[in-house]
Structure 1
Amino acid sequence: MASIVRLPSGSWRAQVMRNGVRKGETFKKHADAKRWAAEMESKLESIKAIGTAQTPKGSTFADFVDKYVEETDPVKPHGKNKKATLKRLKSEFKGVLMSDFSILHLREFVDRRVRKKTQAGTTVSGVTIAVDLSYISTILHWARDVKHYDVNAGIANEIRGSLARRGINTRSKRREREATEAELEKIFAAYEAKGSRQKIPMPHLIAFALASAMRQEEVCSILIEDINYEDKTVVIRNRKHPQEKLGNDQTVPLLPAAWDIAMTHVGDRKKGRVFPFNQRSVSSSFTRICQKCGIEDLHFHDLRHGAIGKLFTIGLRIEQVALISGHRDWAMLRRYTHIKAKDVQKAFNDLLGAQAAKTLATA
């Protein structure tokens, strides 16, 4: 039985109790509270009978996206890319009723996406389309598994599985670009020529990135309060993680070159960011200087790639490099090792030589 009462604020509170399940919602209008209570009673009765309920009359896919964001974002904040994608998907399926949402809508969606051009004039990548379908699948599964509505939650994954048969590549191409020593020399020289006109100490930030293997947003966000002066470490807050958006804090060592640069910028300060500069400004400055130097297709983030490779070159083990870089999956670090057949030969011969020297020393 539904209960609808008026609150001191003038709003109306509707409550429904069925089979030990209590649901409540507050509305400004009595008619809205009454309508919601009737729909909720019907839904709970349907769930009791068959396990799911029909989607609310007139509700669209976009409505479900809004409700999903409203309920899940406060619990586990969505990243900006996910938010932007969900907003675009609302537009893609504008006006499509959730009760009518079918595999035909998804096939037409993929057809539109493969014909669409990006701002750069290229076709939308298979990776982007696969991500779109993944988020659609998330909405459908949430509607079925959390809200108990009768929706076909598997259709997005079915369409995603068919992309390869359409010749659409859903594997992202790993970026392998690194800055060469010659390119770095040009960049440092160009910044030196700018002198006092450069407000951001870019040579120091570049050198720190090369020494620490941090991302640009990490470089610009580390705090003086998070530095351990005895252990020469710093805590990177909310470090990038494929599942965790918040709370993924990680203590990393600052190796000598990175430590010296950090201490130069800390000075006698006790709190605040070590490098109090906007990460977007850092990225833009780096892009402009590369253009001035005639260096093509080099981003600030590519400094991290080269830095990780050098950590292997100096002999750190994969688990040690993973601690510095923040990689949880060690397999992801393989592409940074740059191991060649001749390197294996040299390492093997060095080990044999070291063992022979040890034998002679103990003889």
Structure 2
Amino acid sequence: MASVTPSYDRDGEHIGWQVAVRKRGFPAQYKTFRTKAEAMGWAAVTESEMVRGVFVQRTESEQTTLNDLLCRYSKEVLPTLKGGYREQSRIKALQAGLGAYSLASLNSSLIAKYRDSRLSTISEKTGRLVSAQTVKHELGLLQRAMKMAAIEWGIALPGGIPTAMVKKPSLPSARDRRLVDDEEERLLAACAEARNAWLRPVIIFAIETAMRAGEILEKWELDKETGNQEKKGVGLQWSDVDLKKRTAHLPKTKNGDARTVPLSRRAVATLEALPRNLDGRVFGVTYEGIHQSYVRACRRAGITGLTFHDLRHEATSRLFEKGLNPMQVAAITGHKTLQMLKRYTHLRAEDLAKLLG
């Protein structure tokens, strides 16, 4: 049964109405309202939910703001994730837009408004509109944090996880740039003319293995808070290469899982021709050192619109064209789902026609 009693302040002034709902099998519920009608309405809804077996304890979700949740997620979860530092900018954006709301008050309408607002915001970093991919990552982070709150931290969300009901921004079509005609020969010829002697073997190795730039080369990134360059990847190490077995082991990858990449004969020949660095790196150059050389080589070769990451697209597609099945290709490239793999795979119709006989 619910009881509604007047509530007074220290001076004896009437300030509202306190409700107490007590029902066997449920924790007692208390709440104060300004009017008696609001108090009785809340009591009726709460009792009805208890009777129907759909009652959810709201106290903690009402007292926890999204800002509180994201701070906890940042401290307890991000340090355990590979590349978790990338989530900090997304957390700041979510806190700025939705941080003041309690978890109980967050709904799909508020999140949809946040999505639309972000898509019309100019990024301080790029000077352009915030991309749909960026907003999708932010909503994904919000969903993971709220799921953690509900499942691991025991914070009941009365309306469930609202992000599941919000339409994600439409992404632009996946890049389908591949090497065409004699572009590979022209590119490698231009690389051979480069001052950077590492450029040509790096390009060949990328095409042969489908490895990411950060898996091949040492990589550095600017820490916005400190203004210092920080090493984010050590690149491929000789200690992880077995030329006899024709494998390269990657103990740390972007998705957090280790994997071992099989090496083609061309990849092995490329490695065998390299000088050995005293620091253990296979390629004695950073990604930053390769990038500008690569851009200039493409310019000399008359090749436009081909990014370094497109070489991973090219390599992945060639694996399928050689007849490997999706599971085999995923084991090489490190993609976790077929949908992710599909975005990097662009098969030529003429090559598929040859397989048909």
Q: Which runs of 5+ in 1 are unaligned?
A: 1-46, 350-363
**1:63 partner amino acid:** D
CA distance in 1, matches of 2:203, 2:307: 11
Q: Residue 102 and residue 320 in structure 1: after superposition, are their counterparts in 2 closer, same or farther (change >3 A)?
A: closer
Partner of 2:274, secondary structure, is helix
Q: Is the 8 A contact 1:237 1:249 kept in 2?
A: yes
Checking the alignment, whether the CA contact within 8 Å between 2:198 and 2:283 is kept in structure 1 is no
Q: Please give the TM-score of this superposition, normalised by the length of structure 1.
A: 0.65
Moved more, 135-144 or 211-220: 135-144
Q: Counterparts of 2:339 and 2:108 in 1: how far apart (Å)?
A: 36
Q: 1:68: Cα distance to partner?
A: 1.3
2:307 aligned to which of 269, 282, 299: 299
Equivalence for 1:224: 238
Kindly report the root-mean-square deviation, in angstroms, between the aligned alpha carbons of the 2 structures. Answer: 3.5
Contact 1:222/1:237, CA 8 A, preserved across alignment: no
How far 1:93 moved relative to its partner?
A: 2.8
TM-fit CA distance, 1:209: 1.0
Map 1:138-157 → 2, pairs under 5 A: 138-151=144-157, 152-157=159-164
Aligned length: 287
The alignment-based identity, stated in percent, is 24
Match of 1:201 among 182, 198, 211: 198
Aligned pairs for 1:237-316 within 5 A = 237-241=251-255, 245=256, 248-265=257-274, 267=276, 272-291=280-299, 294-316=302-324
Matched residue type, 1:214: M
User: What amino acid does structure 2 have at the position aligned with 1:202?
Assistant: L
Residue equivalent to 1:42: none
Structure 1 residue 176 displacement after superposition = 0.8
Answer 1 or 2: which has greater helix percent.
1
Q: What amino acid does structure 1 have at the position aligned with 2:187?
A: I
- Aligned partners of 2:243 and 2:268 also within 8 Å: no
Counterpart residue number, 1:44:
none
Q: Where does residue 175 of structure 1 map in the other structure?
A: 175
Letter paired with 1:279: Y
Quote the offset at 1:113 in angstroms: 1.9
Asked if 1 retains the 8 angstrom alpha-carbon contact of 2:178 and 2:313, the reply is: yes
- Mapped partners of 2:58, 2:143: distance in 1: 19
Q: Matched residues in 1 for 2:149 and 2:326: separation?
A: 42
The Cα offsets for residues 69-90 of structure 1, whole Å up to 9 and x where unpaired, read as 1122344455343332112212
Shift of the 49–184 alpha-carbon distance from structure 1 to 2, 3 Å rule, reads farther
Question: Does the 8 A contact of 1:140 with 1:153 survive in 2?
Answer: no
Amino acid at match of 1:303: L
Residue 336 of structure 1 aligns to a residue whose secondary structure is: coil
- State the TM-score, normalizing by the size of structure 2: 0.66
Equivalent residue in structure 2 for 1:235, among 225, 249, 260: 249
What corresponds to 1:37 in structure 2? none
| Shift in CA distance, 111/250, structure 1 to aligned 2, threshold 3 Å | closer
| 1:329–1:75 CA distance, 2 compared to 1 (3 A) | closer
CA contact (8 A) 2:62 2:103 kept: no
Unaligned runs of 5+ residues in structure 2 are 1-25, 30-55, 218-234
Distance 1:210 1:54, change over 3 A: same
SS of 1:251's equivalent in the other structure is strand
Q: 1:301 to 1:107 in 2, by over 3 A?
A: closer
Alignment check: 8 A CA contact 2:73 2:145 kept? yes
